[in-house]
Structures are given as structure tokens and as C-alpha cells.
Amino acid sequence: MTHDTSIVALIGQASLLVQFVMLLLLLASVFSWAIIFHKGNLMRRAKADSERFEHLFWSGGSVAELYNRVTQGPGPRTGMPAIFEVGFREYTRLRHKDSAQPIETILDGVERSMRVALTREMDRLEEALPFLATVGSISPYIGLFGTVWGIMSAFIGLSHVQNATLQVVAPSIAEALIATAMGLFAAIPAVVGYNRYTDQADRLFNRYDNFLGEFVSLLHRQGSAAR
């Protein structure tokens, strides 16, 4: 008696529960790869936008002119331009509201607004990363569950067979082990993607935070000089 040992055939011969586990792992892998590609593009754009904006910011031009240039650009601002826009808008609003109040009080309000914008940007960068962490953590265990269930079903089936040879057992064991392989296939890219993009998000946070401090210091010097 011969058995079809191709991957597709083994999956088709697996029990419904093992097939469900495989389908679950396949979907987790597809969503993980979609997030990995999306985050890769997002992180590259965020880094490039930050480099371009820092070049403009430190080029020696007027902060007010840079603000007009940023706000007149197409589409919603993200990243460092968004943090700058919020900070300078709040600075202008507070100065016009009460020009007699101490510059330190104004800058406290500016920094709080920029911190809120910074948190919002980090939420955007880190969105969906917990999904990668979850897939990376539980996929091997889900695959192992499918394997254990498949092997258990195979041995139960052997009790009804007169001659339990390796040729009879091997296909059932192989189809069960596919679940473990799929669990690892889903988990490994998810873990790599999570670690990579978490590190990149942390680097961007430090970059945004440094810019925030430098911008507040610049406004402090300009405000003190104006008075």
C-alpha cells in the first residue's frame, strides 16, 4: 500500500482539528508578513522625513517661515514635522494670548503639547507590533498542539491496524509534524520583525525627543532675546 507523501496531500489527510490549526497559523503568517512589509515602508519614510526636516530646520532660516512651509504642504503632517507644527502653533497661541506671561510658563505649555504629539507619533509607529509579538510567542505552541493532537490520533488509529509498520505510521506522523513546521514558519519572521521595528521605533523616539528639547531651547533663546 502506497501513500501520497506530498505536503498538500498530507495536509488534506490530516484531521479537521489539525487542519484548523494549520489554517490559523497560515492566517497568522499572512497577517504578520503584511505588517512586516507595511512597517518596513513606514519606518523608512519616517527616517527619511526626519532627515529632510532636520536639514531644513538647521539650515538657518526663520522658524516662522519653516512653519508656513510645513503647514502649506500637502496631506497631514507626521513624524518630526507634526511635532514641530504642534509646538510652534502652541507657542504662537500662548504668546498672543498673554504676551506678558513668563517665557518659562509659555514653554511649559509648548513642551506639554509637543509631548502629546510625540506620544501620538509613537503610537502610530508601534501600532500592530504587539500582534507580531503575540504571533512570535504563541505560534510554536499552537503548532505543537496540532502536532501532539495529530500524533495522538495516529496512535489511536494504530490500535485498529493488524500490522503497525513504519510505512503505516509515517504519513500520519508527517502530517502532524507539518503543524509544528508551520508554527515555526509563522513565529520566526514575526519575532525578527518585532525586534527590528521595536528597535527602529526606539531610535526614532530618541530622535524626536532630542529635537523636542532642542526646539524648546531655541524658543527659549528667541523669547528671552525678544524681551
Question: 72 versus 100: which is more confidently predicted?
Answer: 72
* Assigned domain for 7 exists: no
Indicate the number of domains in the chain: 1
Report whether pLDDT(9) > 80: no
Give the CA radius of gyration of the chain. 28
SS3 state at 62: coil
* Assigned domain for 10 exists: no
Structural domain containing residue 122: 16-226
* Assigned domain for 9 exists: no
Question: What φ, ψ does residue 154 adopt, rounded to 5°?
Answer: -65, -45
Rounded to whole angstroms, how far apart are CA atoms 116 and 193?
27
* Assigned domain for 26 exists: yes
pLDDT digits (tens, 9 = 90+) for 73-90: 777 889 999 999 999 999
The tally of CA atoms less than 13 A away on the side-chain side of residue 15 is 18
* Assigned domain for 4 exists: no
Average pLDDT over residues 167-176: 70
pLDDT digits (tens, 9 = 90+) for 206-218: 999 999 999 999 9
* Assigned domain for 83 exists: yes
* Assigned domain for 8 exists: no
Report whether pLDDT(17) > 70: yes
Neighbour count for residue 147 (Cβ, 10 Å): 22
> What is the value of pTM for the model shown?
0.85
Report whether pLDDT(5) > 60: no
* Assigned domain for 5 exists: no
